[in-house]
Amino acid sequence: MKARFRVSGPDGKAVFMDLKGREAWALEILVSAGAGGCTPIDHPGPRRSDYVVKLRGCGIDVATITEAHGGEFAGSHARYVLRTKVELVAP
């Protein structure tokens, strides 16, 4: 998978970023999730935390919010929320 994104910096200037593979997949999910963010429970996928770290390395701000959950395997999970303005230009 390859995708092109328009990423707006804090100064309002935009750059185009071409991503491929799981990084493109993860950013596309974050963009479509909007302000509510997404969790591995809502959108299962391998190694999401690794892709978030790689996106941060590209200068994209992604917040991690820890949430508790119940059920048979109670514990906590991460909710990832995109803080940088990003638009998908071309899938």
* pLDDT tens-place string over residues 30-69: 999 999 999 988 878 778 899 999 999 999 999 999 999 8
Question: How many Cα atoms within 13 Å fall on the side-chain side of residue 82?
Answer: 21
Task: Please provide the average confidence, as pLDDT, over all residues in the chain.
Answer: 93
- Position 81 scores a pLDDT of 98
Residues 52 and 47: their CA atoms lie apart, in Å, by: 9
For 63-86, what is the mean pLDDT? 94
- Position 79 scores a pLDDT of 96
Q: Which pLDDT band, with edges at 50, 70 and 90, does 29 fall under?
A: very high
Neighbours of 88 (CB within 10 A): 14
51: Cβ–Cβ under 8 A, 6 or more apart, which residues? 22, 23, 25, 26
